[in-house]
């Protein structure tokens, strides 16, 4: 079997297992990750097959709207690696709130004993979970998102600022690519609902999927998903030596396209898609929440433009994409 075939097969296994969780049968998302052997995969990042399987989980989670604690573990792995540390550690994502300033967020459920917090300029610290306070953010659907606060005095330094930089870059890259895969899966789930609906919902005596206005909206939505997926796969394949800013591009593209695909599929669904009885809004909310993490598409897109102006970088990703 080729690497791609193995990864595709793992993706399908992940989907099946996570679908069972989302339907309420079986155990929680993190238990599924244990059964799948997923927790060992971030440490095997250098191996294309392991890396492919590792990221495939995120696409499957998006597709099944599953609640898993994979992202905090993946984000923590590069720091632990550089600090020669190990153990159950979950990394928080820090974002800026317009009204509340800096906010630490933990994505998904976690059994980790330690919270990892990276503060650019100040280095990386570990905080015992026992002293962390959690405040759940209300997201329709199954994604757990908690804002965390802790006493800074309880933080133990893990890496100083100089030592943290390299791990920070790797963590951000892996996290952004993982979020891109989750966003792709999320958008695909929203599109699936709309495509199936267009085949059965009738108006004027025929399925609405016979009208070009509807067909083309859905074809654009498919293209949004397919192009974001291609970029995420490219970023995955180039992960060991990525061209400058490919992580930012991948995340921004996935966030933008996922929001577009959700909007297009909502338009095809009509009013039913704007109700709580229909699942579409769960995917839409998930897409919005994921887009907000590690840089929104709006922020990243603007930053990429600033970078293009300042550096006028040479075409670099092109040949690497092909030779990969």
Residues that bind other proteins in the complex, under the rule CB under 8 A: 195, 198-199, 206-207, 209-210, 212, 215-216, 218-220, 222-223, 226-228, 230-231, 233-234, 246, 249-250, 252-253, 256-257, 298, 300-306, 308-309, 312-315, 317-319, 321-323
* Closer by beta carbon to other proteins, 54 or else 218: 218
What 3-state DSSP class applies to 101? strand
Spatial neighbors of 309 by CB under 8 A, at least 6 apart, are: none
Q: Shortest Cβ distance from residue 294 to other proteins (Å)?
A: 16
* Closer by beta carbon to other proteins, 87 or else 305: 305
Spatial neighbors of 156 by CB under 8 A, at least 6 apart, are: 125, 126, 127
Q: Shortest Cβ distance from residue 244 to other proteins (Å)?
A: 12
Q: Shortest Cβ distance from residue 257 to other proteins (Å)?
A: 8
* Closer by beta carbon to other proteins, 122 or else 302: 302
* Closer by beta carbon to other proteins, 119 or else 227: 227
How far apart CA 21 and CA 122 sit, in angstroms, is 39
Contact by Cβ (8 Å): 178, 247: no
In this structure, the number of other CB atoms found within 10 A of the CB of residue 8 comes to: 15
Q: Shortest Cβ distance from residue 310 to other proteins (Å)?
A: 9
Q: Shortest Cβ distance from residue 303 to other proteins (Å)?
A: 7
Chain-centroid distance of CA 126 in Å reads 23
Spatial neighbors of 274 by CB under 8 A, at least 6 apart, are: 266, 281
* Closer by beta carbon to other proteins, 164 or else 232: 232
What 3-state DSSP class applies to 27? coil
Could you write out the three-class secondary structure of 139-172? CCCCCCEEEEECCHHHCEEEECHHHHHHHHHHHH
Q: Shortest Cβ distance from residue 120 to other proteins (Å)?
A: 21
* Closer by beta carbon to other proteins, 104 or else 251: 251
* Closer by beta carbon to other proteins, 102 or else 212: 212
Q: How far is CA 177 from CA 205, 242, 312, in A?
A: 44, 11, 24
In this structure, the number of other CB atoms found within 10 A of the CB of residue 176 comes to: 24
* Closer by beta carbon to other proteins, 148 or else 208: 208
Q: Shortest Cβ distance from residue 61 to other proteins (Å)?
A: 22
Q: Shortest Cβ distance from residue 2 to other proteins (Å)?
A: 11
Tokens 């992202």, located at residue:
71
Q: In what order do the strands lie in the sheet with 101-107?
A: 93-97, 101-107, 145-149, 133-136
Alpha-carbon Rg for the chain, nearest whole angstrom, is 20
């Amino acid at each position: 079997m080729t690497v791609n075939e193995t990864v595709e097969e793992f993706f399908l296994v992940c989907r099946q297992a996570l679908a069972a969780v989302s339907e309420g049968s079986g155990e929680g998302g993190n238990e599924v990750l244990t059964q799948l052997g997923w927790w060992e995969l971030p440490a095997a990042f250098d191996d294309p097959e392991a890396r492919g399987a590792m990221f495939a989980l995120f696409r499957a989670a998006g597709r099944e709207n599953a609640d898993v604690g994979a992202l905090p573990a993946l984000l923590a792995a590069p720091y632990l690696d550089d600090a020669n540390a190990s153990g159950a550690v979950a990394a928080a994502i820090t974002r800026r709130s317009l009204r509340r300033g800096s906010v630490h967020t933990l994505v998904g459920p976690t059994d980790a004993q330690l919270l990892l917090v990276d503060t650019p300029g100040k280095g990386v610290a570990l905080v015992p979970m026992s002293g962390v306070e959690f405040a759940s953010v209300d997201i329709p659907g199954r994604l757990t998102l908690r804002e965390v606060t802790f006493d800074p005095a309880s933080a133990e330094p893990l890496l100083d600022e100089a030592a943290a930089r390299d791990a920070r870059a790797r963590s951000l890259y892996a996290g952004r690519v993982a979020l891109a895969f989750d966003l792709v899966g999320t958008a695909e789930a929203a599109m699936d609902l709309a495509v199936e609906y267009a085949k059965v919902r009738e108006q004027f005596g025929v399925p609405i999927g016979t009208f070009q206005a509807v067909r083309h909206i859905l074809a654009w939505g498919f293209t949004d998903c397919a192009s974001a997926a291609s970029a995420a796969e490219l970023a995955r394949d180039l992960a060991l030596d990525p061209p400058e800013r490919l992580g930012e591009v991948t995340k921004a593209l996935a966030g933008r396209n996922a929001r577009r695909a959700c909007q297009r599929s909502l338009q095809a669904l009509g009013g039913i898609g704007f109700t709580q009885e229909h699942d579409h809004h769960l995917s839409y909310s998930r897409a919005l929440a994921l887009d907000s993490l590690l840089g929104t598409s709006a922020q990243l897109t603007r930053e990429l433009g600033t970078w293009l102006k300042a550096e006028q970088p040479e075409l670099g990703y092109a040949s690497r994409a092909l030779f990969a």
